[in-house]
Amino acid sequence: MNDFPPSDRPVPAWFTDAKFGIFVHWGAYSVPAWAEPTGALGMVDPDVWFKHNPYAEWYWNTIQIEGSPAQEHHRTVHDGRPYDDFLDAWKAELFDPAEWVELFARAGARYIVPTTKHHDGIALWNAPGTGTRNTVHRGPRRDLIADLAEAVRARDLRFGLYYSGGIDWYAGRRDPVLHEDRMDEGRPHEAAYAAYAHRQVLDLIDQYHPAVLWNDMGWPRAGQADLPKLFSHYYATVPEGVVNDRWDNAHADYLTSEYELDRANEQAAYWENTRGIGFSFGYNQAEGPEHLLGPADAVRLLVDVVSRGGNLLLNVGPKADGTLPQEQRAVLEGMASWMACHAGAVHATRPLEPGAAEPHDGDPWVRWTRDEHHVYAFVADVTDEAVGHVVLKTRPGMLDPDTAERMDGRPVEAEAGPEGIHVTSGGLDTPLPTAIRFAAR
């Protein structure tokens, strides 16, 4: 067997066609479920970020930073108790994986990626080397990964796995991370931890055959030489699997961006943007409506990402009892209602060729996708003065206006003009985009 995956290995069609996945951040941090909702990653001053970290899944790190509001919250609300007490308090008593997955599928997700071990080192399966510090022996007392894998595959979706390889605050203990410029000081690079992480990822591959192998925070330097065989083993086990880019440049099938960070990666041939519905990945009870995407925001984010050739991995953060927060459910239900009509303009589509048509922000909001048979124009936010009439700026002759119709087949009045296609249709003044379909030429 070749020790290293070839650089020209084709990315499987299922991934490029999927367009939308659901990330799930669930752990002991879902018990305190608290962080300051300071802002989106990439939009907050790096000198402020860690002391005022909006990521609830970073709770254990943030409470160790002197003078942080999270430290004061932990002292006053939780009496400064040891972090692992939250593992025992995490019961997942209302967890219904089939109900989760049914909602995810209706919202249009084609793949699901739960966390198996986040930076706190607590495993959601009976991970080798963890002893009893996992959800099989403590807290929920069940293999949460196996339960989700069964539910996801029963719904005929792809099942991926997240693993924090580069940071482990338990097995690879370090001082708290205080600043991104000193991030590497918080990462374990020694051989013992490299072997520990390698053994766990092998176990995940062999037990669960994940369609996506989603590593985070890099990989220990002492284990870099072992990655070629790890990847080769993965591809032999899961021939249609894909690997993300967070392995310290060792290998990647696709690149990632997170909120507003690493947006340059979105110029790659294959890429994925990830973010939470709020500013956190783990459930954060301190977030209010002003911090969260609404259904229209989430739909427009998805359409924008897909129109530029990417996938969206949108995160949910369940509560400790296993229920999805109502605010997050409302977003997914809104996406489900929209996708019931518009999925055909999203899944298995591609961006238009450069110069074919112009996207637009504001009045109106316009994005474009296409497949083998159709071109799709997504339109929203047409102002009251122009309700029902919008000019879609396209290359002359690119579209046949006589073929314009909504996704349900209702015809739309359209005619060619010097600036593009003039479309007249009701309902284009809403923040939720309406897709208008044209026969491809």
Check pLDDT > 60 for residue 6.
no
Two tokens, residue 396: 């002359």
Q: What was the pLDDT predicted at 8?
A: 72
| Mean pLDDT rounded to a whole number for the chain | 96
Helix 295-307 vs helix 326-342: angle between axes, to the nearest 10 degrees?
A: 50
pLDDT mean over 320-328? 98
Q: What single DSSP character describes residue 347?
A: T
pLDDT mean over 108-133? 98
Q: Which of 312, 289, 276 has the alpha carbon at shortest distance from 111?
A: 312
What's the pLDDT tens digit per position in 99-112? 999 999 999 999 99
Q: Is 13 exposed, middle or buried (0-12, 13-18, 19+ CB in 10 A)?
A: exposed
The H-or-E segment that residue 434 falls in is: strand 434-439
Instruction: Kindly provide the residue ranges of all beta strands, DSSP E only, lying in 108-149, ordered along the sequence.
Output: 111-117
Q: What was the pLDDT predicted at 425?
A: 87
Check pLDDT > 80 for residue 197.
yes
pLDDT band at 440 (very low <50, low <70, confident <90, very high): confident
Q: What single DSSP character describes residue 123?
A: B
Most confident stretch, 27-31, 170-174, 182-186, 398-402: 27-31
Q: What was the pLDDT predicted at 9?
A: 85
Q: What was the pLDDT predicted at 326?
A: 98
Beta carbons of 307 and 49 less than 8 angstroms apart: no
pLDDT above 90: percentage of residues in the chain: 92
Task: Provide the residue type at 44 as one letter.
Answer: V
What's the pLDDT tens digit per position in 240-295? 999 999 999 999 999 999 999 999 999 999 999 999 999 999 999 999 999 999 99
Q: What was the pLDDT predicted at 363?
A: 87
pLDDT mean over 26-39? 98
pLDDT mean over 47-51? 97
pLDDT mean over 154-179? 96
Q: Is-cis flag, bond preceding 37, omega within 30?
A: no
What's the pLDDT tens digit per position in 75-96? 999 999 999 999 999 999 999 9
pLDDT band at 5 (very low <50, low <70, confident <90, very high): low
Pairwise CA distance, residues 250 & 129, whole Å: 25
